């Protein structure tokens, strides 16, 4: 069974940093692109970042560009999201998701909660 | 950025009802449109990809159609486990990929 498990979310102060991890199992990790998607409390889904299989191609949403960095370690079957200069509007559940052939997301992890407070 | 607009934002329906949700893109996106179901407190689940292809394991009462700018998700006979929020997502060209705001299907 394909599975993704996020970790690293916690309460952090405004301006702080956090590193999220996404561990994969059940598929050949190095063959798939991975995305991060977030969901603020009671709100909709917002795509955050994308990384290709080798890490050579990376994209970010404008809202996080310059503050977040995505990376991956294919040997560890993991993707990371380094978050810096966190703001209150970064408060959300952060999901990682495997990317399908035409960039649909499946499966998703269960998510990890990031709360940014002053 | 491509804007995705879903309608309605919420609806009330009964078990057995036929339910239709629409999603409109701000520019043509061919068939790069995907649908997800999200139950409370859970991660989204892929239902349909590329507008009309049913994901493996998804019941056949779910169907999708459309191309260009207008798309629909139909549940032919609503079941108790279908009360959830549904999102569309476009993946046309390079990111940013965007989602509709969601449609909450509630029990009447």
Chain A residue at shortest CA distance from B96: A61
Q: Do A105 and B102 touch (CB under 8 A)?
A: no
| Residues on A contacting B at a C-beta cutoff of 8 Å | 35, 44-47, 50, 59, 61-62, 95, 100, 102-111
**pLDDT over 90 (residue B89):** yes
Q: Do B46 and A104 touch (CB under 8 A)?
A: yes
pLDDT in tens, B28-37: 999 999 999 9
**pLDDT over 90 (residue B82):** yes
Tell me the average pLDDT across B12-16: 97
pLDDT in tens, A9-37: 999 999 999 999 999 999 999 999 999 99
Residue ranges, chain A, pLDDT below 50: none
Handedness of CA A102, A41, A11, A61 (dihedral sign): positive
Burial of B24 (C-beta count, 10 Å sphere; 0-12/13-18/19+): middle
Q: Do the Cβ atoms of A38 and A93 come closer than 8 Å?
A: yes
Q: Output the pLDDT for position B73.
A: 98
Chain B residue at shortest CA distance from A113: B41
Q: Output the pLDDT for position A118.
A: 87
Q: Do B99 and A47 touch (CB under 8 A)?
A: yes
- Strand pairing report for A92-99 and A34-39: antiparallel
Mean pLDDT of all residues belonging to chain A:
97
Q: Do B96 and A111 touch (CB under 8 A)?
A: no
């Amino acid at each position: 069974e394909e599975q993704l498990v996020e970790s690293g979310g916690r309460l952090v102060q405004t301006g702080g940093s956090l590193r999220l991890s996404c561990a994969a199992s059940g598929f050949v990790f190095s063959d798939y692109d991975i995305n991060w998607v977030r969901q603020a409390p009671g709100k909709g889904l917002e795509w955050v970042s994308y990384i290709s299989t080798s890490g050579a191609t990376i994209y970010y949403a404008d809202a996080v560009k310059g503050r977040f960095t995505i990376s991956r370690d294919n040997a560890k079957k993991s993707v990371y999201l380094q978050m810096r200069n966190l703001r209150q509007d970064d408060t959300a559940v952060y999901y990682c998701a495997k990317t399908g052939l035409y960039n649909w997301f499946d499966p998703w992890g269960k998510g990890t909660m990031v709360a940014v407070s002053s | 950025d491509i804007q995705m607009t879903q309608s309605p934002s919420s609806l009330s329906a009964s078990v057995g009802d036929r339910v239709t949700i629409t999603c409109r893109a701000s520019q043509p996106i061919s068939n790069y449109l995907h649908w997800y179901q999200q139950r409370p407190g859970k991660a989204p689940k892929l239902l349909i990809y590329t507008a009309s292809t049913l994901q493996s394991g998804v019941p056949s009462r779910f169907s999708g159609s459309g191309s260009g700018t207008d798309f629909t998700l139909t549940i032919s006979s609503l079941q108790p486990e279908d009360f959830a929020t549904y999102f569309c997502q476009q993946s046309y060209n390079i990111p940013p990929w965007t989602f509709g705001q969601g449609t909450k299907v509630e029990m009447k």
